[in-house]
Chain A
Amino acid sequence: MSLPRNIKEQFPLLSQVVNGHQIVYLDSAASSQKPAAVIEAMNDYYRTINANVHRGAYEIAAQATEAMESSRERIAKFIGANSANEVVFTKNATESFNLVARSWGGQNLSHGDAVLITDMEHHANIVPWQILSAELGFEIRWIPLTPDGQLDLTSLDQLLDGVKMVSLTAMSNVLGTLNPVREIADRAHEIGALVTVDASQYVPHFPTDVEDLGADLMCFTGHKMCGPTGIGVLWGHEELLDSMPPFLGGGEMIVDVRKDGFTANEIPHKFEAGTPPIAEIIGLGAAVEFLESLGMADIRQHEIQLTKYAMNALNNRYGDELTIHGPRDPDQRGGVLSIEYRDVHPHDLSQVLDQRGICIRAGHHCAKPLMKLLGVGATSRASMYLYNDESDIDALVDALEPAGEMFAL
């Protein structure tokens, strides 16, 4: 099976003309485009059943609650969760990490403990631990990288000594590296540590099963998987989520409030203070339905083929003038290509590409420690998704040469 050839037609934005060219969108690692089905699901909510959830006894309030909770069920099944109660809605993956650090970390970490992360983490999986570490005095350790951008696990046993939490990305948003999450999780569990997985770049592109990954907690965001912005997910095993104290306080997360204190709600509501982003949750449910209709295995195959095509085309055309960071084998990486081309600075490259309607990301990709390791301030990153095809890659490849001429030193 392969994806429908006319898949772009389901994404209204992809027919837009930018700077006189039909848009070539190669920045899905930053945010994906949205199919019409997602946009319509959110519109339908506002047009037909807009009401607050878990409160009103009237018909549309019941329908809104039902729509939101059936989205939760669909998302739970999509990632292989045991129950919808294991799916906590947050604002984004960043908030999910802050929840984990503040709630689990605040309860379980102190001076003498360690949290193990990696040199390729996004700031979302670095800074929440740094903030907490400054208060509690635990140590943050980093799994180093090999020269081709894989995790270097040769010293893992020493690194794990005294570690209570391993928090790592399943796929690098800069290098495209796929990490051996299961292997690391098994070794972490042997010494009694927990494992949090950053699946922001993984859930949108791979068939995902939280049990297969060996995760205890998993964070991802909706807007990179055809869903809207403003909605993220924290998944965790029920017993673990049950044991964690609330994160944000307010309405919805309580069963009782008295002058002398409060009683927290059951999970997942315990972690969902205030009116939730109802339309966004419904939109994310529609995004999952859309992805399921295509099949995650077919999406992954499509991206392997396209990554292979792109790496070949770039290397054949530009040879030594061009470097692609990260693993060489398209089967062993995601569709994220951080490239360096001649001396052209990423800002200048993306500016020239923009004139042809080509959208790539220039910058540090919220991974400054990794940028320092690579010895660059920024990279140019082209990232693919299910709606990209060979014509998008051809446009990218053709556009590099004039940029190189313009900025030749």
Chain B
Amino acid sequence: MPGLDDLYKEIILDHYRNPRNQGELDSPPAHRTEGFNPLCGDEVTVTFEISDNSLSEVRIAGHGCSISQASASMMSAAVKGKSIDEVREVTRRFKAMMSIHEEEIGSEASEQTSDEVFELGDLEALKGVVKFPVRIKCATLSWNALLTGLGELEG
């Protein structure tokens, strides 16, 4: 049975208590996108600026549980300054980590997964969320909002 320690890693609680890149950029010129979790009422607003095909600035606002807030904070740190292609790649990998099938829970991660997780850095701390399926939407809320925002941009 997964315990609370699997979910609430210290680094997650640190991002929850000290969220990075908080606030909102003026939009326009920044792009603005929102995410809602209809199950629990959590809301996130992501504002970001693109220059030279890179995500030069990003801010996170809204309210939610420790998992959604920490994930948003960690996302902002992970994508800031990255090229749009890199942002899409880290988002893809993060969402792949969040969609591990239940039968794999508790089993040793495959080589490939380890590789991907290694590249995700701090985000690896959120891996435990998949053991608590109802919380996965909390962790992916801000990522889906960012993806929607990037999609609108290319639109």
Chain A residues close to B by CB (< 8 Å): 19-20, 345-348, 351-352, 355, 362-364, 368, 371, 376-378, 406-407, 409
Contacts and interface: CB of A to CB of B under 8 A. Distances in A.
B38 to A, nearest CB: 9
B8 to A, nearest CB: 7
Contact of A351 (B7, B17, B42, B64): B7
B40 A377 contact: yes
A407 B39 CA distance: 21
Given A363-B39, A377-B42, 20 more contacts: A19-B1, A20-B1, A345-B64, A346-B40, A346-B65, A347-B64, A347-B66, A347-B138, A351-B7, A351-B135, A355-B3, A364-B40, A364-B41, A368-B41, A376-B41, A377-B63, A378-B40, A378-B42, A407-B13, A409-B16
Interface string B36-73: 00011111000000000000000000011111100000
A345 B17 CA distance: 12
Interface string B109-138: 000000000000000000000001001001
A376 B62 CA distance: 11
Given A347-B65, A377-B64, A378-B40, A352 B1 contact: no
A347 B43 contact: no
A374 to B, nearest CB: 11
Contacts of A368: 41
Contact of A377 (B1, B16, B41, B132): B41
A363 B40 contact: yes
B153 interface: no
16 contacts: A345-B64, A347-B67, A347-B135, A347-B138, A348-B65, A351-B4, A363-B40, A364-B41, A371-B41, A377-B43, A377-B63, A378-B42, A406-B8, A406-B13, A407-B13, A407-B16
Interface of B: 1, 3-4, 7-8, 13, 16-17, 39-43, 63-68, 132, 135, 138
A348 B3 contact: no
A244 B42 CA distance: 40
A400 to B, nearest CB: 15
A355 B43 contact: no
Most-contacted residue by chain A among B4, B41, B135, B138 (CB, 10 A): B41
A355 B64 contact: no
Given A362-B40, A378-B41, A378-B42, A345 B4 contact: no
A364 B42 CA distance: 9
Contacts of A364: 40-41
B131 to A, nearest CB: 12
A407 B41 contact: no
Nearest to A363: B40
B1 A351 contact: no
B9 to A, nearest CB: 12
Given A347-B67, A347-B135, A347-B138, A355 B4 contact: yes
A96 B135 CA distance: 32
A351 B133 CA distance: 12
Contacts of B8: 406
Contacts of A345: 64-66
A352 B41 contact: no
A377 B8 CA distance: 21
A255 B100 CA distance: 54
A351 B42 CA distance: 16
A117 B153 CA distance: 41
B12 to A, nearest CB: 11
Contacts of B42: 347, 377-378
B29 to A, nearest CB: 29
Contacts of A351: 4, 7, 132, 135
Contacts of A363: 39-41
The 3 closest A-B pairs by CB, nearest first: A347-B65, A377-B41, A364-B41
Given A355-B3, A355-B4, A407 B66 contact: yes
Contacts of B41: 363-364, 368, 371, 376-378
A352 B64 CA distance: 16
Contacts of A371: 41
A19 B67 CA distance: 21
Nearest to A377: B41
Most-contacted residue by chain A among B13, B66, B135 (CB, 10 A): B66
